[in-house]
Amino acid sequence: MIPSNLVEACFRKFKTVYSRSVSTGFNITEAGEDNNTVPVPGSSDGMNMLGLLVFSVAFGLILGGMGSQGKPLRDFFDCLNQAIMHLVNIFIWYSPVGIFFLMAGQVVKMTDMGEMGQEVGMYTLTVIAGLLIHSFLTLPLIYFSVTRKNPFRFMSGVLQALATAFGTSSSSATLPVTLHCMEVNHSMDTRVTRFMLPTGATMNMDGAALYEAVAALFIAQLHNMNFDFGQIIVLSLIVTASSTGGAGIPQAGLVYMMIVLSSAGLPTENISLLIMVDWILDRLRTTTNVLGDCFGVGVVQHLSRRELQSPGPAGESLMEENLHL
Ligand code: ASP
């Protein structure tokens, strides 16, 4: 997560390697007992995505806090971002042709279409099961344990937002409906909703993170690669970090899969298998993303209920300060 060399992090990643000898200052000594190996820091090919993400977040926070001094660099990155978006827009026009040939390539390579269909079906079911568990168990449990209120009644108040998320596959497009549900149906404080929901629509992607982790494991299993528990934890960290950078637009998660696959050292060509079922998984994970945002607002509103009830002079000056910022 904290690369020692930023340039190197763009093409090499940290890897624990097991060595028979360990260096202790000037001497190289045999490690432990006979045949014992010791873990030592090493590296392997590939981008250190987690390190770059952590650095970027820290750098962005510092730059954001520098006020007018940081403006030239912020303008530079804004400009770079816009130029890249223009390029991406051009590529997107060609994507149907590219996707068609990617899928055709996979179909031609398949030796047993039935078996592959079954595997993709199991992958789809796994993602759906994960999203259902997260939406109906984990999130309600967190909400209930903090607020002691009925989470399912809370969910019924945001049904319209959930239906819109399912229909549009976009957290950002759903934002006005989410705001309406939270402010009108649940009478949430606008100071919480207007800050948290736009942030959540772009940064809080529980569904996308879950999907990306399952998809990466699916591709690893297709290639007979087994991930141990530690690797699954690292993968979860990568997908959580990458999903916060994803946009709340249709199929953004699929684009981020490329980053996840390459940083986990997995082949990217199988992504076309994921595209086949992404139309439905995208809708479902967007619904979970929006639900996560709503529960988040419910929890924060509950935890800050006292501050929100009595703004007082301190509260007012805080709001004024925020407006200046
Ligand atoms: N479509 C999702 C959203 O808008 C993002 C994703 O593709 O994972 O929340």
Q: What is the pLDDT of residues 269-278, one digit of tens each?
A: 778 888 888 8
Q: Cα of 249 to ligand 1 centre, how many Å?
A: 5
Written as six digits, the tokens of 170 are 């976009």
CA distance 273 to 216: 12
Which run of H or of E encompasses 63? helix 49-65
Q: CATH classification of 110-325, choosing from 1.10.3860.10, 3.40.228.10, 3.40.50.1010, 1.10.8.290?
A: 1.10.3860.10
Q: What is the pLDDT of residues 95-107, one digit of tens each?
A: 778 778 877 877 7
Query: What is the pLDDT at residue 178?
Result: 94
Predicted confidence (pLDDT) per residue in 171-202, tens digit = 988 999 999 999 999 999 999 999 999 888 88
Contact call for residues 270 and 219 (beta carbons, < 8 A)? yes
**Residue with CA at minimum distance from ligand 1 atom 2:** 286
CA 200 to centroid of ligand 1, rounded, Å:
12
Q: Is the pLDDT of residue 7 over 50?
A: yes
Buried b (16+ CB within 10 A) or exposed e, 275-289: ebbbeebbbbbbbbb
What pLDDT does residue 15 have? Answer: 80
- Give, for ligand 1, the residue of 177, 242, 249, 283 to mutate: max count of ligand atoms closer than 8 Å to Cβ: 249
Q: Is the CB of 253 under 6 A from ligand 1?
A: yes
| Atom number, ligand 1, closest to the C-alpha of residue 208 | 8
Determine the distance separating the centroid of ligand 1 and the alpha carbon of 169, expressed in angstroms: 6
Of the pLDDT bands very low, low, confident and very high (cuts 50, 70, 90), residue 226 is confident
Nearest CA among 53, 54, 55, 73 for reference residue 63: 73
Distances 1 to 5, 12, 118, 255 between C-alpha atoms, Å: 12, 13, 37, 22
- Distance from the alpha carbon of residue 207 to the mean position of ligand 1, in angstroms: 8
**Ligand 1 centroid from CA 26, angstroms:** 53
* Residue 135: Cβ within 10 Å count: 21
Cβ of 164 below 6 Å from ligand 1: no
Residue nearest to atom 1 of ligand 1 (CA): 250
DSSP H stretches of helix in 110-205:
113-133, 139-147, 151-157, 159-168, 171-180, 190-203
Q: What angle do CA 207, 210, 212 make, to 5 degrees?
A: 105
How many helices (H) and strands (E) would you count in the chain? 15, 4
Nearest CA to ligand 1 atom 6: 253
Strands (E), the chain: 12-19, 21-24, 27-30, 38-45
Lowest-confidence pick of 36-45, 121-130, 152-161, 309-318: 309-318
pLDDT band at 21 (very low <50, low <70, confident <90, very high): low
Asked if 76 contacts 59 with a C-beta cutoff of 8 angstroms, the reply is no
The closest of 215, 292, 218 to 248, measured between CA atoms, is 292
Predicted TM-score of the model (pTM): 0.72
From the CB of 285, is ligand 1 less than 6 Å away? yes
Q: Which pLDDT belongs to residue 36?
A: 63
Chain centroid offset of residue 36 CA: 38
Closest CA to 131 of 313, 310, 298, 286: 286
Question: By percentage, how much of the chain surpasses pLDDT 90?
Answer: 38
pLDDT class of 320 with cuts at 50, 70, 90: very low
Whole-number pLDDT of residue 17: 82
CATH 1.10.3860.10 range(s) for the chain read 110-325
Q: Which pLDDT band, with edges at 50, 70 and 90, does 49 fall under? A: confident
Region 238-267 average pLDDT: 81
Q: How far, in Å, CA of 240 to CA of 212, rounded?
A: 9
Residues contacting 267, CB < 8 A, separation 6+: 219, 223, 261
Q: How distant is the alpha carbon of residue 82 from its chain centre?
A: 22
More confident residue, 219 or 17: 219
**Which pLDDT band, with edges at 50, 70 and 90, does 131 fall under?**
very high
Tell me which of 135, 168, 170 to substitute to probe ligand 1's pocket, judged by most ligand atoms within 8 Å of the beta carbon. 170
Cα 147 to averaged position of ligand 1 atoms, centre (Å):
28
pLDDT of residue 261: 83
- Is the pLDDT score of 3 beyond 80? yes
Q: Would the CB of 260 count as within 6 Å of ligand 1?
A: no
Residue 322 has pLDDT above 50, yes or no: no
Which pLDDT score, from 0 to 100, does residue 31 have?
A: 46
Q: Tell me, what's the pLDDT at 22? A: 53
Q: Grade residue 143 by pLDDT with cuts at 50, 70 and 90.
A: very high
Pairwise pLDDT comparison (246 vs 213), residue with the higher score: 213
Q: Is 208 in the pocket of ligand 1 (CB under 6 A)?
A: yes
